[in-house]
Copies of this chain bind each other. A is one copy, B any other.
Amino acid sequence: MKSLRVGLCGVGNVGRAVLKTLISSSKLIEVQGGVHFDIELVGARRGKKAVPFNGINVTKDLKEVATNPNVDVLVEVIGGVDFAHELVITAIKEGKHIVTANKALIANHGNELFKLAKENKVEIGFEASVAGGTPVIKALREGLVANRVKWFAGILNGTSNYVLTEMESNQSSFEVALGKAQALGLAESDPTMDINGTDAAQKASILAALAFHVPFDFSLVSFEGIEEVELEDLKYARELGYSIKHIARGELENNIACVSAYPTLVNNESLLSQVDKEMNALEIFSEGVGSTVYYGPGAGPEPTASAVIADLVDIAKGGWELDINSDSSNKLQVSGAQKAARYYRLQVKDEPGVIAKISSVFGEKDISIDALIQHEARSKEDIDSVPVVIISGEITDNEAVKLKNILEDLPEVFPGVKKFRIHSSRS
């Protein structure tokens, strides 16, 4: 049986779950994975009292784990970027494999880390960095190895998905829904990175590097969070047969890869529209296979531990031996030329001819209107204005922004036009 000596840094919820599983499921992992693990050294800043397991060597000096000659692989689950980066660099230079759940680390330093790993002939496992316990990295890298990926689209941030689901199903405001997520431990006390789209965009950039073999460059990833989504939008989307989800997307066309993460309308016939609460799901469309979808818990200590240990088993068996982002003629660019249908919600003056005028703007730009809803005024206080919702034909991001600006400049349109993408599952 193969064996591997593990050093682990960070004994928060995830670190403890990794240790617990390695200890309590060691026999199961031997049967199922054919690998025996020894926990060689654990790095915990608070020392032994932070590690609720017996017979484990603990050091308060995390760097010691990265340099200990008996450690074959460093499990980095401390989180944050700067110190994790330093630690991982040190360990790689010492010839140690890395397993990390740290998407920010990979998204920000992926190029350097994978280059250094190659030079030092070590592996970096990062299954836990995207979609938690759902093995999407494995599916993309190994399961679909024979196929060219054309696009992927995923619900990769559980906090955002919980908030949107809660808003839609209980007619809660964004603030109330977020508060509930925090109370349930599904959102951090500072949920900024989840809510503003950064977390999902980082995950999408990792998937894009794997899927399209492009270098990491987070400055080229466009994203927005869910703050702009209002109850009204969820209501109109539903009326039109859509749910609004925060969709992280990557696509490749003519060797140009684009990565983005935006609130997006998803047709209710798509499996992604059925992914509720804190769950994650990723749809991968590849030539040959077509669409496959992977659904599961995107976070949580035990699912994350499951992914970490899957990586450890793979590394014990020889790893992947790949440059994840080399040898490609593909280039990462800012999203802009990719087309998608759009949802616009406008508040307009309740007077004759307004719809005709708005429609003519679309017509002049040669943009089709695929659906249009106009209801009566929302309330007696709001008697002078009515909401108009339009689904456009497929246009680029640039065209979509221009169109929004033109609409907002119309004297009949009130400021604050809402605009969201519509998920396309075309091949």
Contact = CB atoms under 8 A, between A and B. Distances in A.
Interface of A: 2, 21, 25, 28-29, 31-34, 127, 133-135, 138-139, 141-148, 213, 271, 274-275, 286, 288-297, 302-303, 305-307, 309-310, 313-314, 317-318, 320-322, 327-328
B296 A295 contact: no
A219 B222 CA distance: 56
B146 A135 contact: no
A38 to B, nearest CB: 16
B145 A309 contact: yes
Nearest to A302: B288
A304 to B, nearest CB: 10
B135 A144 contact: yes
B134 A310 contact: no
A305 B142 contact: no
Contact of A296 (B2, B292, B303, B307): B292
A145 B29 contact: yes
A375 to B, nearest CB: 28
Nearest to A293: B295
Given A290-B296, A302-B289, A142 B31 contact: no
A143 B135 CA distance: 5
A306 B288 contact: yes
Contact of A274 (B25, B34, B271): B271
A241 to B, nearest CB: 14
22 contacts: A21-B146, A21-B288, A28-B146, A28-B148, A29-B145, A29-B146, A31-B327, A32-B145, A32-B146, A32-B213, A34-B320, A135-B138, A135-B292, A144-B306, A145-B309, A146-B305, A271-B275, A289-B302, A289-B303, A290-B297, A290-B303, A292-B294
A309 B286 CA distance: 15
Contacts of A139: 135, 138-139, 143, 294
Contacts of A313: 142, 145-146
